[in-house]
Structure 1
């Protein structure tokens, strides 16, 4: 399944946000993969952040990560940098952006 999300970085924290993502802890990346994600990318337009996640089951991915210490630490770090954060709760699994169009496969 493919999930698109929107978050927002604080205007005065963009450089810190990007620097943090150059140093994502290997344990966090491994936990994300272990939770079922095969891909996660983030694009930025000004302060707007757009995430694209490919995973087996987004609700399960969130449940696996929500209380995992390495993710809790990372989310605490991100909370200082973001105006709109990624919601890891059960309700967060409904927060994906609706897909409007996709180029049909040939």
Structure 2
């Protein structure tokens, strides 16, 4: 399944956000893969961030990461940098962007 998300960096924190993503902990990327993600790409346009996640089951992926200490630490770091954060709550799996069009 493919999920698209929108988050937003706080004004003036764009370079810090970019730098943080050059240093994503290996333990976290391994956990994301174990959780069923095959690919996760983030694009940034100004403050706006667009994520595309290819995974087996997005709800299961979120559940696998929700209580993981490395993810909790990462989300705390991201909360410092983001106005709109990635939602790891129970209802977070319903926060994806609706597909409007796709070239078949």
Q: Shorter-chain TM-score: what band?
A: over 0.9
CA drift at 1:89: 1.2
Q: Which whole-Å CA distance do the structure 1 matches of 2:97 and 2:58 have between them?
A: 13
RMSD value, Cα: 0.5
Q: Which whole-Å CA distance do the structure 2 matches of 1:17 and 1:45 have between them?
A: 12
| Partner in structure 1 of residue 103 of structure 2 | 103
CA drift at 1:83: 0.2
5+ long unaligned stretches in structure 2: none
- Describe the SS at the equivalent of 2:19: helix
| Partner in structure 2 of residue 36 of structure 1 | 36
Moved >3 Å (runs of 4+): none
| Partner in structure 2 of residue 74 of structure 1 | 74
| Partner in structure 2 of residue 10 of structure 1 | 10
| Partner in structure 2 of residue 25 of structure 1 | 25
- TM-score of the aligned structures, taking structure 2 as reference length: 0.99
5+ long unaligned stretches in structure 1: none
Q: Which whole-Å CA distance do the structure 1 matches of 2:52 and 2:90 have between them?
A: 19
**Correspondence list, 1:37-52, <5 A:** 37-52=37-52
